[in-house]
Amino acid sequence: MKPITKLFGVIATVGLIAGCEIPSKPDFKTSQKVDVKILNSTEFKFLGGKKALIDTTKGDIADFFSTDPNGVVSISTTEDFDFGDLNDAIPVISVAPTTVDAEVGPLKLNEFSSDSGPNGLGSANFQQLTGLNPSLFPAGTPILGASSPNPVNISLATNYLVSATIREGSILMTLNNKLGFNLSTVNMTLKSGNNVVGAINFTNLLHNTQQTTSLVIPPNTVLQSINVDVSIAWATQNLQAQPNELIVQNVAGDGLEASQVVAAVGPQSFSTAGKIVVAEDQFLFTQAGDYIEVESGTLDINRIANNMGLGIQSFVLSLPSIRRAPYGVGDSLVIRFEGATALTAGRVIENFLVPLANTRIIAPNNEVRYSVAATTQDLRQGDNSTPATIRATDNVFASVGISNLAIRSAIGTIVTKSVELNEDDPSNGTNIDLFNDNEANLITLDGIEDLSDKIEGLEFRDARLSISYQTNIGISAKVVGSFVGVDAKGQLLYLTGKPGSPLHVASNPFTNFTSKGVPINASQMIQFQLATSPDGSMISGSIDFNNTNSTIIDFLNKLPVEIRFIGKAVINENNQRGQIQSPVRFEPKILVDIPLSIQTVSAAVYEDTLDVDLADLPGPDDDRRLTNATITVSYVNRLPLEINLNLDFLDDNFVVLTSSPRSGQAATKLLASPVDANGFVLPAGRTGTMVIQLDRSQMDILNRTRKIGLRTSLLTTDGGVVRIRANDGFTMGLNGSFSITTTVN
């Protein structure tokens, strides 16, 4: 074959191959459209089960919403305020210790000797007194009248008396004539040792008779080793019996009192009386029937000491102001130291406590009366007697008080006082701060947190707050304090009484109330009076905070998610007589009731920011892009609210990427249902459609969206008052129309 022929063949072959069809790299964009129902028409009731705007099956929501017989929904909750008891209202009775000083006083000397038998205390015989030999004068023998040649000294056997310093009184001297003849006179000189105390005469002392004569002892006479000088005189006569003796039969005191003795004295009784003063700073016994019934406490005899040289066989402390049940006069508290508890000589008893539980203190003029009756031991023990030295100033000393007195009940006049209703946290001193959780009472309304956080401007027309309580306080009590509501944004609003109403606080009586450390003033306070129990039994009462007497509407319009309270109870502000008993109970419940009877004078705003990560959506650089999205909401609105919806698409830093609708575009609006004269929606509601449209430029940046800011303005139907019922709601269906561009290259 020639070369030209070969070349032809090669060219033809290459041309054949070059002419073959070869697919190129794909490079195109599709424009897909999807028009699809996203959500079937679905009815959402306002309040109810899971398919409701407010799902009452969730958490404790059910407890938070209620409906009245008309079906009107209320946000309501009842929370307890735990004040514990108000026992601080019970007066604290303080009683200063009192000294009881019981002196023995003047000592009574009655008996000088333990033996005044036939031989008496001493005697002088016939011969001593007459100088005659008795053997010469048998019975019947005449004796001529004469007198003693010399006084005869007779020592007296007074074993009971060693010595005595006489304060006053007399001594009775008894002579027994056994001389065998009658004496016309007997002269007797009483001597203390060699000191003459006094002299007395006996006349016509017949044989075999006794005669007693009194001798006044001068004050301050010291009797010691007493003896008498005796001389006699007689007339002529016959001896009537064998001559014998003139006997000093007895020496005894007659009203004889000594300031000091060394003697074996008999029982010495002494007594004293006094009062224990009840402080008047908290409680006054103003009427005869006033009393304090003691829950617990003691009568404290801190120290009782027998300072005498002899024992006290009986020491009785009587407190007629303190009585045991049944609280009659005879039920007085009597404390005895006798027998085993007797106050022996020199005995000291420390801290002798007498429980006062269940006793009543009846203390007119705030004085607790007492008396002491004591008797010393009897030293007279015959020949075995041991004289003791006793002074009239010897005493029994005791310190008596009442301590730890807890009162179960009291009738009388409680002095005005303020009682803290909150526990004090010492970390901020004595201040009571609304925002100290350890101090303030707090109720939380978690169920409306979302609403509170996101909605603003709704006016709840019939909102109210009330405090219902039970108490047994029988005297006037007024609560003065501060309620602050904190909404979900942290804004504060104080509940106050309107001027002129009883709830209004004109001036703050308390300086230790603070809010976040700043003193609370009267414009942030409210007060209310508690009912008084007539007999100390539990009674119920309530206080309503309404639009007439308080700022409750403004307060609850904020939809507080927590309500804090600090306060004090001012007890018996007018110092009236009343009764109180422990425990003093004040058990309040706070009832918040916010019927959804609302009005929007200007548009209420509901704002929320939802975490919506749209990163999965295509962006401008992705092969697949949404170029148009139209969401059509078909609705039947049976809520009396017009809703204007604005969506802000936000990035991580809350920067608005785009909004829908855009500025200048028609509002995305859901029209309110018409209402009847009562503000209830009409059954047919309002039918309409709402379109949310995003154009291509918006779609291009949607994938940078991490959050969607929801700004909704709400208007009640025609701006009037409307009422939302549980079965109100709306029906909606969603249609989506999307254009999708897919790039293939």
What are the residues binding other proteins (CB under 8 A)?
1-2, 5-6, 9-10, 12-13, 16-17, 19-40, 42, 49-51, 55, 733-735, 738, 740-741, 744-745
Smaller CB separation from other proteins, 24 or 537:
24
424 phi and psi angles, rounded to 5 deg? -95, 125
> With respect to other proteins, which residue has the nearer C-beta, 347 or 624?
624
Give me the least distance between CB of 606 and other proteins, in Å please.
21
- Select 32 or 70, whichever has its Cβ closest to other proteins: 32
C-alpha span between 632 and 690 (Å, rounded): 6
Whether omega before 426 lies within 30 degrees of 0, making that bond cis, reads no
Least separation, in Å, of the C-beta of 505 and other proteins? Answer: 47
- The DSSP-derived string for 176-229 is EE-SSS-EEEEEEEEEETTEEEEEEEEEEE-TT-EEEEEEEPPTTPEEESEEEE
Report, in Å, the least distance between residue 707 CB and other proteins.
17
Residue 744 C-beta: closest distance to other proteins, Å: 7
Q: Which is nearer to other proteins, 415 or 708 (CB)?
A: 708
Q: Whose Cβ is closer to other proteins: residue 21's or residue 383's?
A: 21
Cis peptide before 620 (omega within 30 of 0): no
Indicate the helix (H) or strand (E) that contains 541. Answer: strand 539-545
553 or 740: whose CB is closer to other proteins?
740
Query: What count of Cα atoms within 13 Å lies in the side-chain half-sphere of residue 357?
Result: 3
Location of structure tokens 């006053």: 168
Q: Measured from the CB of residue 646, what is the shortest distance to other proteins in angstroms?
A: 22
Q: Other CB atoms closer than 10 Å to residue 622's CB: what's the count?
A: 14
Residue 173 · residue 200 · CB < 8 Å:
yes
* Cis geometry, peptide bond prior to residue 661 (ω within 30 degrees of 0): yes
Q: How far is the CB of 618 from other proteins (least distance, A)?
A: 14
User: By the 8 A CB rule, do 716 and 618 touch?
Assistant: no
Structural contact between residues 720 and 622, judged by C-beta atoms closer than 8 angstroms: no
Report the candidate in 540, 513, 631 with the shortest Cα–Cα distance to residue 38: 631
Q: Closer CB to other proteins, residue 383 or residue 616?
A: 616
Residue closer to other proteins (CB basis): 19 or 339: 19
Could you write out the DSSP letters of every residue in 27-46?
A: -EEEEEEEEEEEEEEEEEEE
Kindly tell me which of 55 and 446 has the beta carbon lying closer to other proteins: 55
3-state secondary structure 66-103: EECCCCEEEEEEEEECCCCECHHHCCCCCEEEEEEEEE
- Nearest approach, Cβ of 6 to other proteins (angstroms)? 7
Pairing of strands 432-433, 142-143: unpaired
Name the pairing type of β-strands 161-177 and 210-216: antiparallel
Quick one: 36 or 340, whose CB is closer to other proteins? 36
Structure tokens given for 3? 């070369």
Which residue, 37 or 336, has its beta carbon nearer to other proteins? Answer: 37
- What minimum distance in Å lies between the beta carbon of 39 and other proteins? 5
Cβ proximity to other proteins: between 18 and 136 the closer is 18
Shortest separation between residue 63's beta carbon and other proteins, angstroms: 19
700 sits in which H/E element: helix 696-702
Q: Which is nearer to other proteins, 507 or 745 (CB)?
A: 745
Residue 234 phi/psi, 5-degree rounding, is: -145, 160
Nearer to other proteins, 286 or 735 (CB): 735
The burial class, CB within 10 Å (0-12 / 13-18 / 19+), for 125 is middle
CB of 625 to other proteins, least distance (A): 11
Within a 10 A sphere around the Cβ of 615, how many other Cβ atoms?
Answer: 10
Write phi, then psi, for 136 (nearest 5 degrees).
-90, -5
What is d(CA 151, CA 271) in angstroms, rounded to the nearest whole number? 46
Query: Least distance from C-beta 681 to other proteins, angstroms?
Result: 22
Can you tell me the distance from the alpha carbon of 708 to that of 312, in angstroms, rounded to the nearest whole number?
A: 96
How distant, in Å, are the alpha carbons of 10, 442, 551, 588 from that of 433? Answer: 104, 12, 22, 20
- Residue closest to 681 by CA, chosen among 730, 719, 721, 640: 640
**In the bound complex, what is the minimum distance in angstroms from residue 52's beta carbon to other proteins?**
8
20 CB contacts (<8 Å, ≥6 apart)? none
CB 431 within 8 A of CB 515: no
- The distance of closest approach from Cβ of residue 638 to other proteins in the complex, given in angstroms and rounded to an integer, is 17
In the complex with other proteins, the residue whose CB is nearer, 678 or 697, is 697
- To other proteins, the closest distance from the beta carbon of 15 in angstroms equals 9
Q: Is 699 left (phi over 0), alpha (psi -120 to 50) or beta?
A: alpha
Q: Look up residue 446 and give its two tokens.
A: 């978690």
**In angstroms, what is the minimal distance from the CB of 10 to other proteins?**
8
d(CA 718, CA 169): 113
Return the number of the residue (249 or 627) whose C-beta is nearest other proteins: 627
| DSSP for 571-593, written as a single string | E-TT--EEEEESS-BEEEEEEEE
Cβ proximity to other proteins, 59 vs 84, nearer residue? 59
Rounded Cα distance between 314 and 332, Å, is 18
Minimum distance of other proteins from residue 729's CB (angstroms): 13
H-state helical runs in 375-509? 449-454
> Residue 678 CB: number of other CB atoms within 10 A?
11
Residue number, 58 or 516, with CB nearest to other proteins: 58
Closest approach, Cβ 623 to other proteins, in A, equals: 13
Give the three-state DSSP class for 732.
Answer: strand
Name the minimum Å distance from CB 37 to other proteins: 3
